[in-house]
Amino acid sequence: MSKMKAAMAAVLVMEKEGVTQAFGVPGAAINPLYAQLKERQTISHVLARHVEGASHMAEGYTRAKAGNIGVCIGTSGPAGTDMITGLYSATADSIPILCITGQAPRARLHKEDFQAVDIASIARPVTKMATTVLEPAQVPQVFQQAFHLMRSGRPGPVLIDLPVDVQMAEIEFDIEAYEPLPVYKPAASRKQIEKVLDMLETAERPLIVAGGGIINADAADELVRFAELTGIPVIPTLMAWGAIPDDHPLMAGMCGLQTSHRYGNATMLASDFVLGIGNRWANRHTGSPEVYCKGRRFVHIDIEPTQIGRVFAPDLGIVSDAGAALRMLLEVASERIAAGRFRKWSEWAGDCRRRKADLGHQRKTNFDNVPIKPQRVYQAMNEVFGRDVTYVSTIGLSQIAGAQFLHVYGPRRWINCGQAGPLGWTVPAALGVRAADPQVRLVALSGDYDFQFMLEELAVGAQFKLPYVHVVVNNSYLGLIRQAQRGFSMDYCVQLAFDNINVPKGEVAAGYGIDHVKVVEGLGCKAIRVHAPGELAAALRQAEAWMSEYQVPVVIEVLLERVTNIAMGTEIDNVVEFEELAATAADAPTALALLD
């Protein structure tokens, strides 16, 4: 046993649990923990400009690589409340992050002390555990339990609140005797998987709906192998995009009201059986259950028991880790196929492949308009970045159009905030991804409003050499809300454009409001402005060159036409296509390649 400060015990436990990176903002009530981090020098630290930014950096760090747990640290009071959005985002998408806050001394918790707030009570609804540690000797075990909970069952975040006197108290602790607690993951039984395959054999047009649980379980390879073994097409949710490559013959497109493909919705409507794995039937994917479920049966496999039947009652529900379920599906299906007792759905898969390759099910992108149509931006991104790229995005028309037009070719190549969708998430999340993987080819995508929410974090990228390319599509509008307001016959409080007195009226950016190029450069980064389609490819390549040369974030601001309505609707059979012009070979080279 060794005598040490409780804060040192916390650092030692984090080391033993595999933590090597943290994000945060120091302050008086958390300085004792920072003192121990400084003494150990084993956990790198990135100084955020806003504590919410630190929480999203931790999210990006976790989402970037299997096994990562992002850590964000802040002082007492507003630091904890600033983290709530990150905690909500993480819990909604099953992302484990550890938030650590300082707190007023225990004796003054009930005296309305400076920056003393019951952060554990505030955070509890959006975490797997939120606790204020009142006994110094309990610090090691609370951290041990935190890592166990974050990794077990449905992953999720934890908040640990440490009063300043608890951090500084001396305790007895032996790190050599410490072992992480075993992680619990429920697993489908053979009997359950036999029942799934029995039901599958009665289907004529089955689909797999692959959810983010497959990414969390690092089971994309198993998904693809099972699809190839059986010939069943796959529809990934937005959180699982890339689990099967976009150009794989069995990738049938995404389904939904917004972030979907025309061929994906058509294939879902043509199916008669759906096997959902690691998904939660999010409403932007399903629309109403009455339309989504009509004419088809469902099996739902998910790690979280309360997800089964939450949106609609499946014909069979199984509580299981997605990876464990897929491994058992592969084992049992292989045995049946070897014995000649299991069919394949090659003809149905061929129908889905032809639908995907049909230009009538593609949307047009090859526009030459000035100002630029957003569809043209994504066409250029596909052409320049190709297969070897990781995208980060969060919310708005930029994200919706990105999901409709971009291509993703591997797991964790689309890093997206799903359910919560907080504006401002993209910049700090991209920085967290870069901190997790210095080598990945990294491109972020934002609308101008998302970008403005937390653009101060770009300075973090400049200071800590966290380079990436950030494409900002600027229409000077809250574009998604403007489009939604059409249902109320209004265009109210959603216009961001104004005449910036510092931008001469003759300049291209005049009337767009904020001069993003100057702001970005003022934060220590590089920026390029694009106003015509012919400039896009060169600008994207220049941004990558600058990123490599200067080792800072590089922003490409694309000046869009002010109003472009992006395809979406109220049901998967009622998506409004605003661009009626037919797609051509220039619009959909990936789809046409499937015919080769």
Partners of residue 300 on adjacent β-strands: 276, 317
Q: What's the rounded Cα separation, in Å, for the pair 576 and 483?
A: 12
The CA-based dihedral angle spanning residues 39, 45, 48, 53, taken in that order and rounded to the nearest 10 degrees: -120
Partners of residue 97 on adjacent β-strands: 70
Beta-strand runs (E) in 394-476: 414-416, 442-447, 469-474
Cβ pair 75, 101 in contact under 8 A: yes
481 is catalytic: yes
318 is catalytic: no
Look up residue 350 and give its two tokens. 């061929």
- Candidate list 13, 33, 37, 51, residue with the active-site label: 51
Cβ pair 399, 416 in contact under 8 A: yes
**560: DSSP letter:** B
Helix (H, G, I), strand (E, B) or coil at 243: coil
341 Cβ neighbours under 8 A, 6+ residues apart? none
423 is catalytic: yes
Cβ pair 223, 326 in contact under 8 A: yes
- Give the residue among 411, 370, 296, 401 at the shortest CA–CA distance from 531: 370
Q: What's the rounded Cα separation, in Å, for the pair 243 and 388?
A: 14
Buried b (16+ CB within 10 A) or exposed e, 536-546: beebbebbbeb
- Candidate list 299, 400, 471, 478, residue with the active-site label: 478
Look up residue 385 and give its two tokens. 């970045």
Residue with tokens 């806003």: 50
25 is catalytic: yes
Q: What share of the chain is helix, strand, coil (3-state, %, to 5)?
A: 45, 15, 40
Look up residue 523 and give its two tokens. 């934060």
**146: DSSP letter:** H
Partners of residue 72 on adjacent β-strands: 23, 99
- Candidate list 332, 481, 494, 517, residue with the active-site label: 481
Look up residue 423 and give its two tokens. 């504006």
- Give the residue among 546, 531, 567 at the shortest CA–CA distance from 260: 567
Query: Would you please indicate which residues are annotated as catalytic (active-site) residues?
Result: 25, 51, 423, 478, 481
